[in-house]
Structure 1
Amino acid sequence: MSLLKRKNLRFTLLASLLCVAPAFSAVEIPAVAADTGATLQQLNVQYPIHFISIDQIAAGLKGRAPIDVGFDIDDTLLYSTPAFFHGQQLLSPGSNDFLKKSEFWDQLSNGWDAFSVPKKSALALVKLHMDRGDRIWFITARPMPTTGKETVTEQLGKSFSIPADKLNKVIFVGESKGAKVKDIRDHHIEIFYGDADGDIRDAREAGAEPIRVIRAQNSSNQPMPRNGALGEKVLVNSDY
C-alpha cells in the first residue's frame, strides 16, 4: 500500500471514530435544601439525660429490705393506645370527645384493657420488684368507674404474673393536679414509675424517687413529654 493510501486510510478511520464517539455533557446536580441532612455536630448532639437501666436499679436496691414501689398504668405498664383507639372509633370517631364520656372510662377499666399490650420493659421491671419481695401499688389517673367495679387489677395480675396474695387493687385518682401525691405518701412508696410530667412532680412532692418510663412514640397520648426535662432518671429502652 502506498504512503498516500495509508494516510488516507488513517484519516478515514479517525473521522469515523469522531462521528461515533459518545457525547459527554455535564450532569445537573439538584440543589440541596438548607433544612435537609445534618452536620456531624448535629448528629453528635446528646441531651443531658440521666439514663438508668433495670440492672442499675437492681444494684442500687441490693441488700435493702423490701420497699413499696408505685406504677402509673397507661404508657408506663401498658401500651394502651389500642384500647383508647377502640373507644374512639366507637364513641367519637375522628375526635377526642370520647375522653369526656364516663362510658369510655367505665368500659376501658372493665374489659377494654384486653386490647392493651404489656410493655416488655414493664414486665422486666415488675419481675425485678417481685423477686425482691417489694410491695407493688398501681396508681392511675383514670377516673374510678361509675359502677365502682373494675377489672384492671385482675388484668394486671394476669399480665404481670402477680400472685393474688401480692396483688393490690388499682387506685383510681383522676387527672387533677397533684392527684397521686396523697396515695404515694400514704403507701410509703419510695420509687414511683411514670411516663408523664405529673407522675414525676407528684412523686417528688410525696417524697418518693421518680423514675421516668418513656412513652411509646406511637402512643395516642399526645403531645409527647420531654424525658429528663425535670432532672429525673429515665429508664433506658422503656418505650416498649
Structure 2
Amino acid sequence: MRLSAYALAGAIAFYLAGCASPVAPASTTNIRWLTVPTLQASLAGAPPMAVGFDIDDTVLFSSPCFYYGQQKYSPGSEAYLHNDAFWKEMNGGCDRYSIPKQAARHLIALHQQRGDRIYFITGRPHTDNEQLTALLAKTFGITDMQPVVFSSGPQKERFIHDRHLKIYYGDADSDILSASAAGARPVRIMRAANSTYLPLPVNGALGEEVLQDSTY
C-alpha cells in the first residue's frame, strides 16, 4: 500500500504510535524466550530459506533520527510524521546516526552463515533516492542485499507472504500479527525503553517467541 503524498494520518501514525497490546504485561515466566543458539539449533538441517526483518527498533535504534525530525519539523507534535520532507531526509541518509542493534548483528550473521536470503520490510513510506538499502548492506555486511521494502504502514502480511518468508523479526505487535497471518514464524525483538516509538509493546503478549537481550 502506497499512501498518496504520504498522507499518513492513519497508517504511519498507527505504525509509529506503537501498535501496543492493551493487555496487562505478561509474566516473564510465561514468555517463550529464545536465544541465538537455540534459534540456530531449531534451524539445524533446514535448507536455506528467506527471512525478514523490520527496521526501526528491530535492526536499528533509529530514535535519534525521529527525535531530530520532530525538533526540526514539528516541535511538540507528531505532525512531522506526515511531512514528505522528513521522510525524504529519513530515508536519504539520516540513519547514519541510527545505532545498529547488536542482537540484529548476531541474527543476520547466523542467517548469512546458513545461506538464507534476507529481506528488510519497513512501515516507512518510499521516497526517491533512498539510501537505506545501501546503509543496511554496509552496516551489517550483507553480501546479497535485497532492496528495502517500504510498506507505507503497519500491515506487512502480503509483503511477507509474497517473498515466502519463513521467519520475520519485529518489535511491534503489527509485525507479529502480520508474520503470523502470512504463515511465517514471528520472533519479537525487544524495543528499547528509551525509544521514541511509544507506547512500548508487551513482549510475549501474542504468544510469540521473544529474543533475549534484544533491546540493544
1:239 aligns with 2:215: yes
Moved over 2 A (4+): none
Corresponding residue of 2:18: none
Aligned equivalents of 2:28 and 2:149: distance in 1? Answer: 37
Corresponding residue of 1:14: none
Deviation at 1:47, TM superposition (A): 4.0
1:214 aligns with 2:182: no
- Equivalent residue pairs, number: 190
TM-score by length of 1: 0.77
Deviation at 1:233, TM superposition (A): 0.3
Deviations 1:127-149, CA, capped at 9 Å, x for gaps: 0001110000000000111x3x2
Q: Which has the higher contact order (CA 8 A, sep 6+)?
A: 2
Corresponding residue of 1:72: 54
Larger Rg: 1
Deviation at 1:94, TM superposition (A): 2.2
From 95, 98, 107, the counterpart of 1:113: 95
Q: Structure 1: which amino acid aligns with 2:37?
A: D
Shift in CA distance, 72/46, structure 1 to aligned 2, threshold 3 Å:
closer
Cα RMSD (Å): 1.0
Equivalent residue of 2:30, what SS?
A: coil
Q: Which moved more, 1:167-176 or 1:212-221?
A: 167-176
Equivalent residue of 1:211, what SS?
A: strand
Aligned equivalents of 1:229 and 1:60: distance in 2? Answer: 22
Equivalent residue of 1:234, what SS?
A: strand
Equivalent residue of 1:138, what SS?
A: strand
Equivalent residue of 2:107, what SS?
A: helix
Q: Please list every run of 5 or more consecutive structure 2 residues that lacks an aligned counterpart in the other structure.
A: 1-26
Aligned equivalents of 1:203 and 1:81: distance in 2? Answer: 24
Q: Structure 2: which amino acid aligns with 1:51?
A: W
Corresponding residue of 1:11: none
From 177, 181, 203, the counterpart of 2:157: 181
Equivalent residue of 1:89, what SS?
A: helix
